[in-house]
Amino acid sequence: MNRTSDFREKEVINIKDGRRLGFVSDVEINLQSGRIEAIVIPSGGRLLGLIGRDNECVIPWEKIKKIGEDIILVEMDDRFIRKHFE
């Protein structure tokens, strides 16, 4: 069992190409169902991690393949990676 605060300590890695996407900055929770809908990670261009909401990317829960002690493995396609991380 993980707490949502534990997600902030985990690095997100794309299993398709091994790219390190960053660390979780937030989670989206469906309050009616009580389930996590997505994780949010900064995608570069943010000033001190505070400015630039447009530069966050949302990774849907169904794209998460494995949650380990230190990392979260996701499976994202090339279009997503180019749009948010290049």
Q: What kind and span of H or E run contains 65? A: strand 64-67
Superfamily classification of domain 4-85: PRC-barrel domain (2.30.30.240)
| Tokens matching residue 46 | 């943010």
Sequence ranges of the domains in the chain: 4-85
Do the Cβ atoms of 57 and 40 come closer than 8 Å?
yes
Q: Give the pLDDT confidence of 7-23 residue by residue, as tens digits.
A: 788 999 999 989 898 99
Q: Give the pLDDT confidence of 9-64 residue by residue, as tens digits.
A: 899 999 998 989 899 988 999 999 989 899 998 876 544 445 544 578 889 999 99
Distance of CA 2 to the CA centre of its chain: 15
